[in-house]
Amino acid sequence: MAVAPLRILIVDDEDNVRLTLSMCLEADGHEVVAHDNIHDALADAALRAFDLVFLDVRLGSDDGLDFLPRILAESPWAKVVVITAYASVSTAVQAMKGGATDYLPKPFTPAQVRLVTDKIARQRRLEWKVEALKQALGALDPEADFPTASSAMQAALSVARQVADSRATILISGEVGTGKGRLARAIHAWSGRADAPFAVVRCQPADPDALEAEVFGMCRQEPSDPSGDLAGRVGLCHGGTLVLEEVGQWPQSLQPKLLRLLSDREYERVNDFNPRSADVRVLATTSSNLRDAVSRGQFRADLHLALDVVRIEVPPLRERAEDIRLLAGRYLAFFCRENHRRLVGFTSSAMKVLTRYSWPGNVRELRNIIERSVLLCRADRIDVEHFPPNLVNSAQAYELGDLVSLETIEQVHVRQVLQSAGSIKGAASILGINEKTLRIWVKRYPRIRSEFESEVEPLDLVPPDSEATVAGGVDEPA
């Protein structure tokens, strides 16, 4: 079975061993770098990422095993195969305890080299898939296949698929909750980097220094102390994809470093001035207008241009109303399975509410509403009563001519007037009735009364058998 090509480092002081290993590995399509001493090898490892290291135990006066921790500190994901002519059980045990993955005694044949390399290549491929699976499970979503009947959403998906396999930086913009992160994950899955690492960085740190170390890595202060090293997301995502979430919040002090990463594909770790090559595809998301941030002097114009190579606009849910019914059904089935419920759908009134609501929180808000409704519903269909009050009120659930009672229309209308006016007095003036009548009406509906509790208190002076209503327009005598 074919395996993914690896970036391999060879450290051996014998010319014929380095030549033989290099020819064998390059013939199989791997990228190979060879050094005859550990010091040059460590310097190279500090500048680029390696998947596999062949490390000789005897390197002149040096012991290769002494440098094993430093190699792993530079590339913690790398697999190290120890090679030596001094094969013994004790050496093998010492190497494994030090972090080596395998052991290859000299002399060895090309077949033996290929066997160990293929095994490690498959192991690396499996690790990448496991990491991708963890990411997918962490963001499990019934909208993962992007079901849509919206032409605007279909256009955005078409652009995403066309550019997925390129190296171009992509800026995904859209309101909060539209699914920008999900689309970024899909672009990675559609690309040739799908089996390589994928990571997300949130660009809203309380401490810019912590963000710098997280993204670019950090080198130890003391050369003898490898425990202080941090590879960073850029190094860990070698060959893969890095998503910068809400890139508009990226600190101004770090914008030159991000520009260098995007433009020159180079970066430096904290406490280290050695430039490192970066093989990472950057996707950025934003819910803010970066052009406005540039005009305010909060975001570099050249960084904006470097990010905005390909822009994909994810439309808000209110502009893809044809998808609301489809997505609601998907989420209903999903949360019914998750919670072992047997709901068969929505009432017509409930669906009217969903389709008339403006969805300021977009798809994320729809998902939350459906999950809440599934948990609260004890019937076989979700109805308006299972939605939160703000959704029902804002959606203008009923219109003139709908087959509902006059009392229902009255309740919805008065609640909306109360919320818009902000007070009993203001609402009474708009409705053309006196305040006492409106207070009596509000007391009949606990949900509305709770919103205007302080203004309803005077009702305690009103006789409990009062029959005033808004619809009848009957005012109590003063």
pLDDT given for residue 254 in this prediction? 95
pLDDT digits (tens, 9 = 90+) for 295-309: 999 999 999 999 999
Does pTM surpass 0.75? no
Give the number of C-alpha atoms closer than 13 A to the C-alpha of residue 209, restricted to the C-beta side.
2
pLDDT given for residue 266 in this prediction? 93
Average pLDDT on 5-17 reads 86
Residue 461: pLDDT band (50, 70, 90) is very low
Residues 364 and 446 in one domain: no
Q: Distance (Å, rounded) from C-alpha 264 to C-alpha 369? A: 45
Residues 37 and 96 in one domain: yes
pLDDT given for residue 468 in this prediction? 40
Q: Is the pLDDT of residue 477 over 60?
A: no
162 within some domain: yes
pLDDT given for residue 251 in this prediction? 94
CA 118 distance to own-chain centroid: 32
Q: Distance (Å, rounded) from C-alpha 214 to C-alpha 343? A: 45
pLDDT digits (tens, 9 = 90+) for 131-147: 666 555 444 556 667 88
Average pLDDT on 63-87 reads 78
Average pLDDT on 106-131 reads 80
Residues 169 and 79 in one domain: no
Q: Which residue has the higher pLDDT, 430 or 225?
A: 430
Determine what percent of the chain is predicted with pLDDT higher than 90.
Answer: 35
Q: Which of 315, 343, 367 is where one domain is finished?
A: 315
CATH number of the domain enclosing 121 = 3.40.50.2300
47 within some domain: yes
Q: Which of 251, 284, 315 is where one domain is finished?
A: 315
Residue 320: pLDDT band (50, 70, 90) is very high
In a 10 Å sphere around its CB, with 0-12 CB exposed, 13-18 middle and 19+ buried, how is residue 459 labelled? Answer: middle
Q: Is the pLDDT of residue 476 over 50?
A: no
Residues 249 and 120 in one domain: no
Residues 261 and 330 in one domain: no
pLDDT given for residue 225 in this prediction? 54
360 within some domain: yes
Residue whose entry in the numeric block shows the structure tokens 């202080």:
228
pLDDT given for residue 132 in this prediction? 63
Average pLDDT on 224-252 reads 85
In terms of residue numbers, what domain contains 30? Answer: 7-129
3-state secondary structure of 194: coil
Lowest-pLDDT range of 200-209, 326-335, 393-402: 393-402
Lowest-pLDDT range of 71-75, 118-122, 370-374: 71-75
Count of structural domains within the chain? 4
Residue 126: pLDDT band (50, 70, 90) is confident
Which of 107, 35, 105, 18 has its CA nearest to residue 71? 35
266 within some domain: yes
Residues 164 and 264 in one domain: yes
pLDDT given for residue 451 in this prediction? 59
pLDDT given for residue 140 in this prediction? 53
Residues 303 and 333 in one domain: no
Residues 453 and 420 in one domain: yes
Average pLDDT on 419-430 reads 81
Residue 410 in tokens: 């009255």
Residues 52 and 154 in one domain: no
472 within some domain: no
